[in-house]
Amino acid sequence: MNYAGLSGIYDPIHLDKEHLADSEFGGRLLYGQLVHVVMEGLKIQTGILADSVIASYGMDSVPVVNPVLIGDTIHNEIQVINLGRRDADSGSPSEKKRGVTNSQKLSALPRRER
């Protein structure tokens, strides 16, 4: 419920336990963004990135491949796939005095009865 209050997303698929008890999922789903935030926290807690990351430049792809239900255990696998320098034009938002976010989202919608 704290995430709902913070995000403003009060969708019953995340909040209405009785409504979802007989659904294909069998219960309330965690917010996909919340799952990602928890995974980021688990990554930081490992300590493998301690004192090595100064900024997040973003994410290219964060697919949600399976639903996560309240009470599920989340495991995190971390793999460094590239080490390299950023272009001079990709400085931090504070250096450029602006912040920009690009986003692409895929959503599953319920089928409508015809």
Among 1-10, 15-24, 46-55, 63-72, which is the least confidently predicted range? 46-55
Mean pLDDT computed over 31-36: 87
Q: Is the pTM of this model over 0.75?
A: no
Q: For 31-39, which contacts have Cβ atoms below 8 Å and span 24 or more sequence positions?
A: 31/3, 31/7, 32/64, 33/7, 34/3, 35/64, 35/68, 35/74, 36/62, 38/74, 39/74, 39/76
